[in-house]
Amino acid sequence: MSWQPNGDVVLRVENLHKYFGTLEVLRGIDMEVHRGEVVVIFGRSGSGKSTLLRCVNFLEDPTAGTIEVSGVRLEGGHRTRHKRELIRQLRIKTGMVFQDFQLFPHMSTLGNVMEGPMTVKKKHEDEARGLAMHFLERVGLADKADEYPIRLSGGQKQRVAIARALAMEPDVMLFDEPTSALDPELIGEVLEVMRSLATELHMTMIVVTHEMGFAREVAHRVAFFHEGVILEEGPPSEVLSNPRSPETKRFIDAVL
Amino acid sequence: MAQPDVAAPMADRPPAPPLGRRERLELWSARVPWALKLAVVYAFVAGVLVLAFNAVQFDTQWMREHAWNIIRLGIPLTLLICVGAILLATVLATLGALARLSRNPISYGIASFYTSFFRGTPLLVQIFLIYFGLAEVGIRLRDAGYGGLSNIFILDTVPAGILALGLNYGAYMTEIFRAGMQSVGHGQGEAADALGMNYRQKMRRIVLPQAIRVIIPPTGNEFIAMLKDSALVYTIGALELFRRADLAGRADFRSLEAYLLAAVMYWIITGIFSFFQSRLERRMSRGYVRGGPSKWLPAGGGGGGGVGVVEVQDAQGAGPPS
């Protein structure tokens, strides 16, 4: 990898715990992500990797622990009015891409991408449109600007969803199994867009995925989740080729 | 074993037994188109009614003379009351549904109390409570020395009718609106959250525009039901369609003719609205919301041909003339 992240810490997770009822899904996660870094999280389903991502932008409230994104620092636990506003600030600094896209079906592609800048950031319509077109070009879908999501393929939908998140100009992008809902022949185009974000924009990204090829080529760091803790992490060349723990090795053997 | 009979000509078989009367009638009946049969039944029912009316010396002359006056004076007020009440009900149902979906105990509690009361008591009792009951409150307030406050509670018949119908239908429509909002997937709300939208923005930009598609058809049905229930406002003296007909009938001892006129008029009005309602429903069920809350795109957006974008306002405007 020619370019290496060397900047400040964009995202910091400290001692994060998450319970669903009495089930402890996250059992003390610590993580730092630097500007421009690409972290791939992998592990069995139910190991807590998606929950971590959803806790980072408070789609799930962490039971305990601290999340900090670009200086916005939040504790887990109950929400207060003040905290709700801070959560909103934090979410503006994070972009989220969902497994099932969740494009807004009542808006055109362009409308989807303009929505955040206009409604949340109160940008003028012309400026928002310029921004939206820029990011639609970025994901190679400028020609679909006026189409509605129902007319797009799964891969195209996910690329629009990526553009929608990028248009908020976030400091960190969260990808929650972005290719898991796609037909095999459509996975490549989405991964290609993600790769270009990493290599050309040096976008800070946390990616939950089972695409080990992507992890090997694009990630600076991979983290293996097991039963709510990070069992093993490090550069992909080390972790994926020479896993230390037997669980990691078993999982990698099963996926590859 | 050879089976020469298989190739034997038909004529060698024993002849089929002759059809009975009933079978022949059934065969003949099967050839008559359904619509024709229906027309015959309708004509028969109408004929029986005409004979019955003749038997009681039905005064069609009187009906012809008074029909237009009842229409001219009564229907505008009936429509005014219903349009006013459905607008009020829509606002109440929106607020009620948002409250019933919220985790805030205050708004949830108030909304639940509201829907429970207005769905659990008769509309007629509510009308009396709001017209006579509130007036009583006003009088007692005046007696207690709060004269300025009392006027708020003493309502005219039409505002009282609108308020009562609106509150009652708002309670029922709260459930319709709640279901509509719930039909918008959880993930849509999360996508809005993830963009950093606050609650208002999420509802206004993402949830409500999609919910409207589900909400509008049943709301049309509620409006049609309300057209009929609005006759209850007669009891507090509003000069709407039914009271106009009743007054005219009583004056000339033609109550039977007057009530029948009123019934037929309600029938026609609800028929007209049902027609537009079913057209609207068909359009909404095949279409998908496009370009915000006001435009609809038919046929799953496929093909690109014949993409008719219709303003909802038009579709609604086809209903109540204002």
- pLDDT at residue B304 greater than cutoff 80: no
Average pLDDT of the segment spanning B129-147: 89
pLDDT in tens, B8-62: 555 567 777 777 888 888 888 888 899 999 999 999 999 999 898 888 888 888 9
Question: Closest-CA residue in chain B for A161?
Answer: B191
CA distance A39 to A215: 8
Tell which of B102, B184, B186, B195 to mutate to test the A interface (max A CBs under 10 Å): B195
> What confidence score (pLDDT) does residue B147 get?
75
Average pLDDT of the segment spanning B194-216: 94
Q: State chain B's mean pLDDT as an integer.
A: 84
Which residues in chain A have their CB less than 8 angstroms from residue B288's CB? 105-106, 148, 150
Closest by CA position to B195, among listed A114, A142, A128, A83? A114
Q: What are the extents of the domains in chain B? A: 76-239
User: What's domain B76-239's superfamily in CATH?
Assistant: MetI-like (1.10.3720.10)
Q: Rounded to a whole number, what is the distance in Å from the CA of B196 to chain A's nearest CA? A: 5
Q: Measure CB to CB from residue A102 to each of B188, B291, B292 and give the nearest one.
A: B188
CB–CB contact A59 B190 (8 Å) = yes
CB–CB contact A111 B291 (8 Å) = yes
CB–CB contact A119 B197 (8 Å) = yes
pLDDT in tens, B63-112: 889 889 889 999 999 999 999 999 999 999 999 999 999 989 999 999 99
In the DSSP assignment, the letter for residue B82 is: H
Establish if A81 touches chain B: CB-CB under 8 angstroms. Answer: no
Q: CB under 8 Å to B167, separation ≥6 — which residues?
A: B88, B89, B92, B118, B126, B130
> What confidence score (pLDDT) does residue B148 get?
78
pTM of the model: 0.78
Q: Which two tokens stand for residue A213?
A: 């090829």
Q: Is A219 strand, coil or helix?
A: coil
> Residue A141 burial (CB < 10 Å; 0-12/13-18/19+)?
buried
Establish if A122 touches chain B: CB-CB under 8 angstroms. Answer: no
> What confidence score (pLDDT) does residue B5 get?
52
Which residues in chain A have their CB less than 8 angstroms from residue B194's CB? 57, 59, 91, 94-96, 98, 165
For tokens 């695409």, name the residue. Answer: A211
> What confidence score (pLDDT) does residue B3 get?
52
Establish if B181 touches chain A: CB-CB under 8 angstroms. Answer: no
Q: Which two tokens stand for residue A115?
A: 């929505």
Average pLDDT of the segment spanning B217-241: 93
CA distance B224 to B266: 10
CB–CB contact B291 A164 (8 Å) = no
Q: Measure CB to CB from residue A120 to each of B190, B195, B209 and give the nearest one.
A: B195
| Segments of chain A scoring below 50 in pLDDT | none
- pLDDT at residue B266 greater than cutoff 90: yes
Which residues in chain A have their CB less than 8 angstroms from residue B300's CB? 150
For tokens 């009792």, name the residue. Answer: B125
B224 neighbors B274 (Cβ within 8 angstroms): yes
> What confidence score (pLDDT) does residue B286 get?
54
Chain pair A-B, CB pairs under 8 angstroms: 76
> What confidence score (pLDDT) does residue B310 get?
34
> What confidence score (pLDDT) does residue B19 get?
78
- A18 forms beta bridges with A26
Strands laid side by side in the A221-226 sheet: A94-97, A172-176, A205-208, A38-43, A221-226, A229-234
Share of chain B above pLDDT 70, in %: 84
> Residue A23 burial (CB < 10 Å; 0-12/13-18/19+)?
exposed
CB–CB contact A150 B209 (8 Å) = no
ipTM exceeds 0.90:
yes
CA distance A66 to A55: 10
Q: Measure CB to CB from residue A150 to each of B201, B209, B300 and give the nearest one.
A: B300
B307 pLDDT band, cuts 50/70/90, is very low
Establish if A116 touches chain B: CB-CB under 8 angstroms. Answer: yes
**Number of alpha carbons in the 13 Å side-chain half-sphere of residue B140:** 6
Q: Rounded to a whole number, what is the distance in Å from the CA of B293 to chain A's nearest CA? A: 8
Of residues A112 and B144, more confidently modeled: A112
Interface of B with A in 280-309 (CB under 8 A): 288-293, 297, 300-302
Scored b (16 or more CB within 10 A) or e, B269-278 reads bbeebeebbe
* Integer CA distances (angstroms), A241 to A40, A183, A252, B295, in order: 15, 28, 9, 55
Question: Closest-CA residue in chain A for B209?
Answer: A106
> What confidence score (pLDDT) does residue B200 get?
94
> What confidence score (pLDDT) does residue B290 get?
43
B278 pLDDT band, cuts 50/70/90, is confident
Strands laid side by side in the B288-290 sheet: B288-290, B295-297, B310-311
Instruction: Decide the pairing of beta strands A23-34 and A9-20.
Output: antiparallel
